[in-house]
Amino acid sequence: MTESTLQLGRAAALPSSPEEAVLDRVPNPHPDTNYVARFTVPEFTSLCPVTGQPDFAHLVIDYVPDRHLVESKSLKLYLGSFRNHGAFHEDCTVAIGKRLVAELAPRYLRIAGYWYPRGGIPIDVFWQTGEVPAGLWLPETGVAPYRGRG
């Protein structure tokens, strides 16, 4: 992908579906170094595939890039495309992780989906590609488990 084809720096509409969304990638300026890049998405939204009601989650995506980084505007548009997408919590969380792996081929990726309760039950979904690379500091996600009002 060349700089002229990136969505960054130009108007880009919210894709109508995750499948339609384009994830841009850029060269990793430090491909010789293991480090964690974190995206925190506190207002992720999708639709329940049964009722059509909105579902909300706090996502934390950590990855160790290899040759490429995901460009953050394209990631924001991709994640925003789920607003009108019907899928269960587990499907959304794992699909996002797998799509990022397919596009970036990172050395490691984990995604944590902390979903707000529907029907009185919060559902937290976690997925990762394998073991954390040796010697890498990977902080906790920083999201507390659901405790209701108390």
Q: Which residues are part of the catalytic machinery?
A: 48, 55
* DSSP-assigned states of every residue in the chain: --GGG-STTS--PPPSSTTT----EEE-S-TTS---EEEEEEEEEEE-TTT--EEEEEEEEEEE-SSEEE-HHHHHHHHHGGGG-B--HHHHHHHHHHHHHHHH--SEEEEEEEEPPBTTB--EEEEESSSPPTT--------PPP-TT-
